[in-house]
Amino acid sequence: MPTSRSIVIGVDSSTQSTKAAAVDADTGELLGIGRAPHTVTGAGGARESDPEEWWTALVTAVRAAVRDAGVPAASVTGIAVAGQQHGLVTLGADGRPLRPALLWNDTRSAPQAAALAARLGGPASWTARTGSVPVASMTAAKWQWLRENEPERAAAATGVRLPHDFLTERLTGQAVTDPGDASGTCWYGTATGTYDPDVLDLIGLDKALLPTVAPSGATRVGTLTEAAAEALGLPRTVAVAAGTGDNMAAAVGLGLGGAGLLDHPVVSLGTSGTVFAATLARPADPGLAGFAATDGTHLPLGCTLNCTLAVDRFATLLGLDREDVTPGGEVVVLPYLDGERTPDLPHAAGLVTGLRHGTDPRAVLGAAYEGAAFTVLHALDRLLAACGLDPADPAVRDRPLRLIGGGAQGRAWTETVRRLSGRPLVVPAATELVALGAAALAGGAVTGADPVALATAWGTGNGDVLPPVTRDEAAWDRIAGVLSAATPTLLGGPEPS
């Protein structure tokens, strides 16, 4: 293969693993994939990973992708990292992590989040400033938890990074982030495009500890350091993009820009469930994450903690294959095994109700799917309303959903989402949209091209359309009723007034 062929590498560093995609920069052809696992530890709300393992996994995955593609290392021209959002990485004087990273789904910081949300004018003020109200997943709450519980480590920190920032810095030696991932910290102002000095003062975080915010995730921030080039087996001339968060990269991979509300809002079924839409408007809803897109436009997002992993846990407990399901019927499951983010119930546990002597275990598993899908789709309704649309309007409800993530490949997931939404679904043929979006960012760093236009030309968001089925209003109303009745208990006390 001629070395003049331009290959770009997109890295998806997620909660559970790293995936690297080797992509032809001109055609978008996926030439090779590499994978490596991560270890997540913790109990009682704690979820941590060693950032050094992320770097080792990145090296392993990139080398495997290049090998799988069968291309010479000299043909690789660019690389970008998309990482799990919100995680807190603290660096010491040697530039190495002081402790394991606090991950997005670590809920120990819920008390700190609640205390922060009450400050600076309350939730409405936070939404106006940063686009989001602090919840346990947000990085500002995790930093506050560290200050209160491990003050010596917080005091020793010489750098504070997000997961993708940490990896980009290992590639280039440059401390840099992008507007998209920065918007998930609650210390970056989506209205101003800068770090919010009042928030930084409130949480005792020196701006000097933070990375520079590049104009976009496709901004070329440097080339590989000698050490990174040697580790990856790539030329030092490889351009490195600023990169972004995983949800922002998925939007790029789908070819979604900030040209107004999407005809196809996105539902992502992974470890977490997410719903998002790209828009020029800046919707303000304290119940949503008002993220920036990687280009500085807007990517409002609703996120649930319990999605595919929680449902798989129910399958294991019941001794069933994940596809061995029937609709839940009378059974209702709220699979909030890790607390929940949307709705904001950080101390919640899973709830099962409606069991009878004759209940089929497959119906219990089906109810777990329904509970998880309901929670995600309920967040979607809230997102649409925040963007000025009525979710009950047939013209809005008839718009297709783009269904992505690992769950989109499963029959039980797709059929449950179809039945509870009543919408047609578009399931993109590409399954590594975060890595492909990162590859488009790498292509932008190499050529200066708009990465969204590049991904659109590649066709990575194209896929089959599943026609709608009649919406299961009875199941929807049954789950909504149980959630409403159970909320005071799930909060751990009386519902706040």
Q: Which two tokens stand for residue 204?
A: 């005792």
pLDDT at 275: 93
Active site residues: 246
What phi-psi label fits residue 223: left (phi over 0), alpha (psi between -120 and 50 degrees) or beta? beta
pTM attached to this predicted model? 0.85
The pLDDT tens digits for 257-312 are 755 555 578 999 988 899 998 888 788 788 888 999 998 888 988 889 999 999 99
Tell me, yes or no, whether 365 lies in a domain: no
Q: How many domains is the chain built from?
A: 1
Q: Give the pairing type, strands 212-213 and 176-177.
A: parallel
Distance CA 140, CA 380 (A): 25
Give the E-state strand segments of 226-381 in sequence order.
239-241, 244-245, 266-269, 273-276, 289-292, 298-304, 332-334, 351-353
Distance CA 69, CA 57 (A): 18
pLDDT at 262: 53
Looking at the DSSP assignment, which residues form a beta bridge with residue 88? 102
pLDDT at 492: 65
Tell me, yes or no, whether 37 lies in a domain: yes
pLDDT at 495: 40
pLDDT at 493: 44
Tell me, yes or no, whether 341 lies in a domain: no
Q: Which two tokens stand for residue 490?
A: 């799930």
Domain encompassing residue 214: 7-249
Contact status, residue 400 vs residue 423, Cβ threshold 8 Å:
yes
Per DSSP, the three-state class of 182 is helix
Tell me, yes or no, whether 55 lies in a domain: yes
Nearest to 87 by CA among 163, 12, 20, 158: 163
Per DSSP, the three-state class of 290 is strand
The CA radius of gyration of the chain, in Å to the nearest whole number, is: 22
Residues of the chain with pLDDT under 50: 1-2, 493-497
In the 8-state DSSP scheme, what is residue 496? Answer: P
pLDDT at 282: 82
Tell me, yes or no, whether 488 lies in a domain: no
Contact status, residue 415 vs residue 454, Cβ threshold 8 Å:
no
Tell me, yes or no, whether 479 lies in a domain: no
Tell me, yes or no, whether 61 lies in a domain: yes
In this structure, what CATH number is given to the domain that contains residue 196? 3.30.420.40
Query: What does the angle CA 242 – CA 89 – CA 195 come to, to the nearest 5 degrees?
Result: 60
Tell me, yes or no, whether 355 lies in a domain: no
